[in-house]
């Protein structure tokens, strides 16, 4: 089962930073950005997270929650969040349940060897829990701003 544009996103509960868990149904009434990144504390992921962090007030004004997700363990996520001053929850998806739900595990090449990893992807879920937008194969530069504009448009109706 995977998410489909315009359809409700299946409810999920995930372990997050700050000794919390996040449940999608618990966020009903808010728009939700779920962005997947390959690895905590790497250059592209640090830049992307910082871009979302720096726009959090604008996302808040658009009634939108930001959630970052990777396969890193909770301790790595806590360290990444603290070091970068991220003002939103990071989810540890070690069992890849969210990665599979959003279909973001793809073959990747590193130093000529193929492996399975997270394809940088972002999903915007509307206040009713339906998938409103998706971005796959994301390039970091300008991405958080594009997602913010989509969230603002969604919020404006």
Q: Which residues are catalytic?
A: 45
Q: How far apart are CA 105 and CA 156, in angstroms?
A: 33
24-60 residues labelled b (16+ CB within 10 A) or e (exposed): beebeeebbbbbbbbbbeeeebbebbebbbebbeebe
Q: How far apart are CA 50 and CA 13, in angstroms?
A: 25
For 98, residues 6+ apart whose C-beta sits below 8 A from its C-beta are 12, 14, 34, 36, 69, 91
Token pair, residue 126, equals 């509307």
């Amino acid at each position: 089962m995977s998410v489909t544009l315009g359809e409700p996103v299946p409810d999920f509960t995930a372990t997050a930073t700050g000794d919390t868990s996040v449940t999608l149904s618990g966020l009903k009434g808010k728009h939700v950005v779920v962005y997947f990144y390959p690895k905590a504390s790497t250059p592209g992921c640090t830049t992307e997270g910082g871009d979302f962090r720096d726009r959090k007030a604008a996302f808040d004004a658009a009634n939108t929650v930001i959630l970052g997700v990777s396969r890193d363990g909770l301790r790595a996520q806590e360290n990444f969040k603290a070091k970068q001053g991220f003002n939103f929850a990071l989810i540890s998806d070690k069992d890849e349940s969210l990665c599979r739900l959003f279909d973001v595990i793809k073959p990747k090449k590193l130093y000529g060897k193929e492996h399975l990893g997270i394809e940088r992807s972002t999903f915007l879920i509307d206040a009713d829990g339906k998938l409103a937008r998706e971005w796959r194969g994301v390039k970091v530069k300008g991405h958080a701003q594009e997602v913010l504009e989509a969230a603002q448009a969604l919020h404006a109706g």
